[in-house]
Amino acid sequence: MKIWLLILFTLMPWLAEAQDTISASDGKAMKFSLKEAQDYALQNSPAVKSASIDLESARKKIWETTAIGLPQVTATGNYQYIFKVPEFSFGGFYDYRLLPDGTPITKGDLLSTYQPGQPVKLGVQQNFTWNITVNQLIFSGEYIVGLQASRTFKELSERNLLKTKNETKEAVAKAYYMILTGEENLSILRQSLQLIDKTLNDVTAMFKQGFVEETDVDQIKINKLNLENLVNSVTEQVQIAYRLLKFQMGLDVNQPIELTDKLDELIAQGNFKLWSQDEFDVQKNIDMKIMQTNEALSMLNLQREKSKFLPSVSAFYQHQEQLKKPQFNFTIPDIAGVGISWPLFTSGGRNSKVAQARLALEKTTIGKNQVRDGLLIDFEQSRNTYNKALNDYLTLKENLNLSDKIYRKTLLKYSQGMASGMELTQAQNQFLTTESNYYNAVLSLFNAQAKLEKLLETN
């Protein structure tokens, strides 16, 4: 109980700032049974929402990896301006059409027909070029392994989401139980306060008539003050527990809620009995499944590093056009081809990466075995804790009835002058101690059962 109170007070600053996406502006209390509270939390808890986002991201990652092996089309455009277009001249030529007719051709006549050549521009001053390239991966071992890894990662995200849901359900149940036990405890304390108020009035009247001493009145007042302080303390604990429950559910902490399940009903529905089951299939536990998935991812990482020894093959097609074509255009508009990439020698770099991946796999396997052994030990401890909590609950339930009976009889005797103030104080302290121990036992029993159920969860 003290550990829970420490957690509650630690969470107080966060609880005061927690906000829910759905708030009741009219201030009307929302009613929840335990199952309804858990179902609401599975839809609105920030932890569950975050894990759901991780799962959706993993689904998108699968398509991202798949798309690497599908056709990739790239379009590019390029504008260019040439300040001075280069020119090329083929030289002059003799135009024999200019020779005179019917006369002997002299050297001068021949030279007079010479015409200088016009330079040819080897480009255009302004132009726009566009290009479309299609790439298709034909074979890549790293791609094949990467596709498998993305699907395994999605499986890991699904299991993490399931684990988060189980933890959320357990946290909601514990907060719910804490409120019910606190309110039941508070109810009995208030009844005791009413009894002691009546006793104080009776003893005060007897003191005025001279039948009892003033110290007897003072002793009852002290008992009343102690009980009032205890009522105030438990009231604050219950209020904090309500805030914790709303925080776990993803509700606005200012939203009034009402719990519809009753403590006696949950105890009756719990079917509490000594746990004697020896079989615990650790392979079905969600933590073990997560470790198995991590091991599979490490194995795929090792395969990915090994796949880098294989070549990768891809094909491409490219089409290029120019808005303005120069007089001499050597650009090839259409090109298709196949490329292969095969790193033949990396100075041992690839071998080192393979060795690292193998070591990482070995480390993950060791971690998986540790989790398996830890879960087996945790199950044995949880079973023993549950059985002890059940025995404590049964014992303290009987003790509570007896101490309540003794306390009420002592109050009656005291009002009749047949019991001393010390006897009344002892009876009251015994009752309050037994009551506190009883509700701590009830809470411990519920929590132990919730932990066992989480360990045995097979979804």
Least confident segment among 46-50, 97-101, 158-162, 384-388: 97-101
- The pLDDT, as a whole number, for residue 247 is 94
- The pLDDT, as a whole number, for residue 278 is 62
Q: What φ, ψ does residue 35 adopt, rounded to 5°? A: -65, -40
The three-state secondary structure class of 337 is: strand
- The pLDDT, as a whole number, for residue 13 is 44
What span, in angstroms and rounded, lies between the C-alpha atoms of 265 and 273? Answer: 16
Least confident segment among 101-105, 243-247, 367-371: 101-105
- The pLDDT, as a whole number, for residue 424 is 81
Residue-wise pLDDT tens digits, 278-314:
678 899 999 999 999 999 999 999 999 999 899 999 9
Share of the chain above pLDDT 90, in %: 50
What mean pLDDT is reported for the chain?
Answer: 85
Domain boundaries, the chain: 2-69+140-308+348-455, 87-121
Least confident segment among 176-180, 256-260, 371-375, 405-409: 405-409
What span, in angstroms and rounded, lies between the C-alpha atoms of 302 and 295? Answer: 11
Residue-wise pLDDT tens digits, 214-229:
887 888 888 889 889 9
The three-state secondary structure class of 108 is: helix
In the structure, what pLDDT confidence band is assigned to residue 183 with cuts at 50, 70 and 90? Answer: very high
Contact at 8 Å (CB) between 183 and 442? no
**Side chain identity at residue 217, one-letter code:** V
What span, in angstroms and rounded, lies between the C-alpha atoms of 187 and 195? Answer: 13
The pTM of this model reads 0.78
Share of the chain above pLDDT 70, in %: 89
What span, in angstroms and rounded, lies between the C-alpha atoms of 204 and 415? Answer: 10
Work out the angle at residue 329's Cα, subtended by the Cα atoms of residues 326 and 330, and round it to the nearest 5 degrees.
155
CA 120 to chain CA centroid, Å, is 70
The three-state secondary structure class of 447 is: helix
CA atoms within 13 A on the CB side of 162: 18
What span, in angstroms and rounded, lies between the C-alpha atoms of 258 and 282? Answer: 38
Q: Token pair for residue 376?
A: 């087996």
Question: Of 1.20.1600.10, 1.10.510.10, 2.60.120.380, 3.40.710.10, which CATH number belongs to 2-69+140-308+348-455?
Answer: 1.20.1600.10
In the structure, what pLDDT confidence band is assigned to residue 15 with cuts at 50, 70 and 90? Answer: very low
- Nearest one of 367, 355, 356 to 292, comparing CA atoms: 367
